[in-house]
Structure 1
Amino acid sequence: MEKGLANAKQALLAGCSSGGLATLLHCDDFSARFPRKVAVKCFSDAGFFLDKKDIHGERFIRSVYNGVVHLQNVSKVLPKDCLAKMEPLDCFFPSELIKSISTPTFILNSGYDSWQIKNVLVPDESSPEKSWLTCKANIRDCDSTQIEVLHGLKRTMVGDLKVVQDKEEWGLFIDSCFTHCQTPFRISWDSPISPRLGNKTIAQAVGDWHFSRGQRVKEIDCDYPCNPTCSSQLPS
């Protein structure tokens, strides 16, 4: 605030991946630091991590995040209304976090998030067979059975995000590209070959949401591989 932020008329807290999760964790606290007249919003890119079982039915990512929550004493920044009903670990996952956030927020994520496919759905610790190792390295090498499992990942995400549909000032851009973190790169953010939903690039959709231009921005893509604008995206 001493460096000039106290004079802001608008403020946007944003981050990608773990920074996207941190954005959700600190969104309301960030907003509370400003006078009511300041337009404060939050933008999470690839931070919507799922509490999802891996291909062998184990909750590997849940055990990892349990260590984070306890090591860093994360409960002190988690929503109090969530903590009153659930364990701190449950309240660390975005599916529960977003129920408590009151600040207008935009969630950008792939329904086929490459990091989550590699580390949540098919972690190395699960000792996946060779076909899964190939699939998680490049979605184009997945067979029809594996693709159906990946569809399940997207369905879980879309289900968890249903609560956002009733949040008037929130925005969504859930594409079907095999990627993770789309804001740092011009090719995905805003270029002639960027992914598009509703004929808008990510930058156009976020701009319309941030500046309240037109109707609500809540775009959810069809299932992979239906979106041809994802074809330029390399695995990441």
Structure 2
Amino acid sequence: MATELLSPLLLLLLLAVVTFSCSPVAARTPELVELTLLAGAREKGAVCLDGSPPGYHLQRGFGSGAHNWLVYLQGGGWCNTTESCSERKMTEFGSSKFMEAVEFTGMLSNRHQENPDFHNWNIVVVRYCDGASFAGDADGEDLDGTKLFFRGLHIWEAVVDELMTKGMDTAKQALLTGCSAGSLAALLHCDNFRKQFPQDVSVKCLSDAGFFIDEKDLSGERSLRSLINAIVHLQNVREALPKGCLANKDPTECFFPAELIKSISTPTFILNSEYDSWQIRNALAPNGSYPGQAWSSCKADIRNCSSTQIDVLHGFRKKLVSELKVAEDKKDWGLFIDSCFTHCQTPFRISWISRISPRLGNKTIAESVGDWYFGRREEVKYIDCKYPCNPTCSSRLPTA
């Protein structure tokens, strides 16, 4: 089942490939943010799948944000077999040889209008090239006999160390975030990120479209669990998992956010769709889990779903909302759980803050995250009603 699930992941890199839109940026910086390769990567054992050095993009802060840092972990799928990791190393998601400069938009933009609260911060996008949410610590052998490097945990540690030498050690405020597989990585490393700074520094985390749930697919199998289980064992992610969870549960269970959030003590904001388009397409209704093409049209666009199919999606929503109860009960945490058919909302202007952005409590995602981070409201916890109740959900939102 994991192999069946993997095909669309590789073909489309559906797990939140962070595509940066073409919105212009302010004249004070170049439109494209160039790639910086990690110094001394090989000596630190911090390399991509193919052994090349990992990279990141750093856009310097200015004015009142010159000493604030936003670190964004890129998403882009997982690889769970030697075959899939071999394919992946021939792309930008497994080798820095294929990485290029990128545009920063949405939460990453340096334009006040597009990103009012974080535009003048130091903003870093860490490129994703390990295939296991920056968590692996192992080596493997490629099909052609060459080495495969599963060094996501080393990449995380080495990039943080390098950013500290570039000014992050004097940060006054910091935020760790990411999209999809990168969002899961932000949860995995949230408390470790907090430990990098003195206690008087405001440090928080944000998870965007990374709340993957362990739900049965349409055939009754647990496709996503099978995939995660293979990743956990192939890439050896144990060291990145909460020790308290590992004492009582299998590592595969501990890789799921429902367990991760129980151990996170750093204030965290969970941004997710109740009808996450990636999870519906690849975990709830993956290829091979249903007869014929009955679900193809529905999972391509929720507006095409029959009433019976919508009931199934409501069941998915119910499971996700129930697993978020832990976050809902944590005092310093925030929630923005909309009912839009989408996946990854922070890196796109259209969903982050625009005329047609999703709204809950009459607030955009950007406004809600800002209210939470800066304490402008006592509590920022929004959970939407069932689809199709929210008129601010747009068909133009990204769906991975």
Task: Tell whether the structures are fold-level matches, with TM greater than 0.5.
Answer: yes
The structure number with the bigger radius of gyration is 2
Q: Which residue of 2 aligns with 1:25?
A: 188
Residue 160, structure 1, aligned to residue 315, structure 2 = no
Distance 1:235 1:198 in 2: 22
- 1:35 shift after superposition: 1.0
**8 Å contact from structure 2 (residues 345, 398) kept in 1:** no
Distance 1:31 1:25 in 2: 12
Distance 1:162 1:124 in 2: 31
**8 Å contact from structure 1 (residues 178, 233) kept in 2:** no
Q: Which residue of 2 aligns with 1:125?
A: 288
Distance 1:15 1:128 in 2: 35
Distance 1:132 1:19 in 2: 28
- Report Cα offsets for 1:208-230 as digits up to 9, x if no partner: 00001122000000000000000
**8 Å contact from structure 1 (residues 54, 120) kept in 2:** yes
Distance 1:174 1:119 in 2: 20
The 3-state SS of whatever aligns with 1:153 is: helix
The 3-state SS of whatever aligns with 1:125 is: coil
Distance 2:322 2:353 in 1: 28
- 1:128 shift after superposition: 4.2
Runs of 4+ in 1 over 4 A off after TM superposition: none
Distance 2:291 2:338 in 1: 26
2:304 to 141, 146, 157: 141
Q: Which residue of 1 aligns with 2:370?
A: 207
Letter in 2 for 1:188: S
**8 Å contact from structure 2 (residues 184, 257) kept in 1:** yes
- 1:55 shift after superposition: 0.8
**8 Å contact from structure 1 (residues 138, 235) kept in 2:** no
- Report Cα offsets for 1:152-179 as digits up to 9, x if no partner: 1111110000011221110000000000
Distance 1:234 1:187 in 2: 7
- 1:121 shift after superposition: 0.2
Using structure 1 for the length normalisation, give the TM-score. Answer: 0.98
Distance 1:235 1:185 in 2: 8
Distance 1:94 1:234 in 2: 24
**8 Å contact from structure 1 (residues 137, 235) kept in 2:** no
Residue 52, structure 1, aligned to residue 223, structure 2 = no
The 3-state SS of whatever aligns with 2:245 is: helix
Distance 2:191 2:377 in 1: 25
Q: Which residue of 1 aligns with 2:174?
A: 11
- Report Cα offsets for 1:9-57 as digits up to 9, x if no partner: 1110010010000000110111111111111100110000010100111
**What residue ranges of structure 2 are gaps of 5+ in the alignment?**
1-163
**8 Å contact from structure 1 (residues 173, 219) kept in 2:** yes
- 1:127 shift after superposition: 4.5
The 3-state SS of whatever aligns with 1:124 is: coil
- 1:184 shift after superposition: 1.1
**8 Å contact from structure 1 (residues 114, 235) kept in 2:** no
- 1:72 shift after superposition: 1.6
The 3-state SS of whatever aligns with 2:178 is: strand
Q: Which residue of 2 aligns with 1:91?
A: 254
**8 Å contact from structure 1 (residues 177, 233) kept in 2:** no
Letter in 1 for 2:396: Q
Residue 181, structure 1, aligned to residue 338, structure 2 = no
Residue 39, structure 1, aligned to residue 218, structure 2 = no
Using structure 2 for the length normalisation, give the TM-score. Answer: 0.58
The 3-state SS of whatever aligns with 2:288 is: helix
Distance 2:256 2:288 in 1: 21
The 3-state SS of whatever aligns with 1:112 is: coil
Letter in 2 for 1:120: A
**What residue ranges of structure 1 are gaps of 5+ in the alignment?**
none
